[in-house]
Structure 1
C-alpha cells in the first residue's frame, strides 16, 4: 500500500502513484534541453559571392564560408582549422561553371593572359561542368572542384607553392570526408576508408614536396604564411613521412627564432618531443 493510496475515493486516483520528489538528473536534463542552443546549420554559414572569371569574362556566383560566423573548434597538427557545423575546405575553391577555370580563392584572379590562354586551350574546350543543385556543396562536388583547381594549376604552370597549397587543402577536405563517412556509417567500408586514407597521404606528400621546393625558390610570404609558419608546417609533414632529421632541424630553428611568437614556439617544443619519441621507437624497431 502506497502512502497516497486511497486518493481514488477522492476522485484523484490518477495521482496515487505520483513521485513526491523529482529525480535531480532528470530535472537537470530537462533544464538543459530547454536552454540548448539550436544546432548550427552549414547552409547558415555560407553565402553566394559574385565573381567574374578572368579566363572567359563570365559572371557567376560561388558559395563562400562566412568566416566571421563560423566557430573555431581547434586546429590539427598540420594547421587544418576545424569549425562547428562546417568543413571550411569545401568552400576554398572558386570554379567558373562556363569555362572550367578553378583555383583557390586566394589565386583565382591572379592569372596572366598567357596562363588564361593555356586554360582555354587545354581545359575549356572539353570540360563538362555538372550543375550544383543543393544549398551547400557536397563532399563529392567539392572534390571535383579541387581536381579542377589542381589540374588547372598544372596547365597554367603555377608556382610550386600554389600547387602545394591546393594539395594541402585537398588533403584536409579528404580528411573531413573520411570523418563524415565514419560519422554517418556505423561501420564504414574498410576498403573505401583505406582508399581515401591513401589519397590523403599522397596529397600531403605532394604538399611536402611542393612547399620544400617553394621554400628554396620563392619569396615569403608563401600562400599568406610567413617563414616560421611554413617551417612549422614542413616540420609536421616531415615527421609524418618519417623524415625525422629534417623535422627536428626545422622545429629547433623555430624554438630558437627571434621572430617566432611564444605560441608557435610552445607548439614546436611539443611537436619536437613527439618527434623524438617517434625516432626512438623507430630505432628500437630497427635495432
Structure 2
C-alpha cells in the first residue's frame, strides 16, 4: 500500500510509512462511544418509591418496545440490538441501599424491611448515578447488592436463584462486549459466570419442589428445561438429560420448548462424543 505521506519525503520528512492517522485506542473509543449513544437512546429514567425508606428516586430502564430481540441463548438469556437489557433490571434505592430486580422490588413485608434497615441501610454509603448508561461493572455491582438484599430479607430460593442467573447472563454479556477475544480478563469472567450458574442451578433445583408455580414467571416445564440446561452448563450431563427428557416427553410442554430441549440434548451428545474421541487419541 502506498505511503499516505510519501509526498512529504521531498520536504525532508521521511520514514512516515508506518504513521497511522487514527491509533487503535482512538478507534476503540470511537467504537464504544457509538455503542453508548445507541444504548442511551433505548433507556430512560423511571420514577420509583422505595418500599423500605419511602424515598423517591429514579432508576434507568429499557424503553418498552424499543429494543429489538435478536436471539435467545440456550439458558433463555435474551439478546437485543444495541443494549443488554439485563443491565437495567435491578432497582436500587440510592438512600437506604434496598435493591431487587424489578419483579421483586415492591414485594417486601414489614419484617423484611426491618432486616434491610438493620443490616443494609445502617452501613450503606449511598449510590450516585452520573452516567447516561450503566456499564457492566456498575450493573454487576447493582445485581450483587440485590443478591445481598435477597439473602438478608430471607427471600425465596427462586428469587436468589433468578438473581444469580441474571448475573451469569450479565457476565456473559460482558465477555461478548470485549472486542479482543484473547483478553485474559475473559477467562476471569468465564470462571465467575460458572460460579453463579452453579448457584442458580442449586437454587432452582431446591426451589422446584418447595415453591408453587409459576416461579419467576416460568411454568413448570420452562423451569424444568432451564434446570436441565443449567445442569449441562455446570458439567452435570447425566442430571441434565434427566430434566430435559421430562420436557421432551411432556404432554403440556410446547413444541418450541421441546425443540429447545432436544437441541440441548444434542449438544450433550456432541460434547460427549468429542470427549470420547479425545480420550481415545490421547
Aligned counterparts of 1:284 and 1:215: Cα–Cα separation in 2: 36
Q: 1:187 to 1:174 in 2, by over 3 A?
A: closer
Give 1:281 shift. 4.1
Q: 126-135 or 211-220, which moves further after superposition?
A: 126-135
Moved over 6 A (4+): none
Partner of 1:54: 51
Correspondence for 1:264 among 257, 264, 279: 257
Correspondence list, 1:1-287, <5 A? 41-180=38-177, 182-183=178-179, 186=180, 189-190=183-184, 192-282=185-275
Tell me, which stretches of 5 or more residues in structure 1 are unaligned? 1-37
Partner of 1:34: none
Partner deviation per Cα, 1:113-145 (whole Å, 9 max, x = no partner): 000100000010111234111111121211111
Give 1:197 shift. 1.2
Aligned counterparts of 1:260 and 1:187: Cα–Cα separation in 2: 38
For the residue of structure 2 that corresponds to 1:217, the secondary structure is: coil
Aligned counterparts of 1:187 and 1:285: Cα–Cα separation in 2: 25
The normalised TM-score by structure 2 is: 0.83
Check conservation: 2:91, 2:105, Cα contact below 8 A.
yes
For the residue of structure 1 that corresponds to 2:264, the secondary structure is: helix
Aligned counterparts of 1:278 and 1:285: Cα–Cα separation in 2: 11
Tell me the C-alpha RMSD between the 2 structures.
1.8
Partner of 1:31: none
Tell me, which stretches of 5 or more residues in structure 2 are unaligned? 1-33
Give 1:93 shift. 0.1
For the residue of structure 2 that corresponds to 1:49, the secondary structure is: strand
Aligned counterparts of 1:283 and 1:179: Cα–Cα separation in 2: 30
Give 1:242 shift. 2.4
Larger radius of gyration: 1
Give 1:246 shift. 1.6
Q: 1:281 to 1:189 in 2, by over 3 A?
A: closer
Aligned counterparts of 2:156 and 2:109: Cα–Cα separation in 1: 13
Aligned counterparts of 2:242 and 2:183: Cα–Cα separation in 1: 39
Aligned counterparts of 2:79 and 2:112: Cα–Cα separation in 1: 33
Check conservation: 2:69, 2:79, Cα contact below 8 A.
yes
Aligned counterparts of 2:191 and 2:126: Cα–Cα separation in 1: 27
Aligned counterparts of 2:134 and 2:168: Cα–Cα separation in 1: 17
Give 1:282 shift. 4.3
Q: 54-63 or 136-145, which moves further after superposition?
A: 136-145
For the residue of structure 1 that corresponds to 2:208, the secondary structure is: helix
Give 1:263 shift. 1.0
Check conservation: 2:99, 2:149, Cα contact below 8 A.
yes
Aligned counterparts of 1:140 and 1:194: Cα–Cα separation in 2: 16
Task: Give the number of aligned pairs.
Answer: 246
Aligned counterparts of 2:73 and 2:162: Cα–Cα separation in 1: 16
Give 1:283 shift. 5.1
Partner deviation per Cα, 1:75-104 (whole Å, 9 max, x = no partner): 011110000000011100000001000000
For the residue of structure 2 that corresponds to 1:73, the secondary structure is: strand
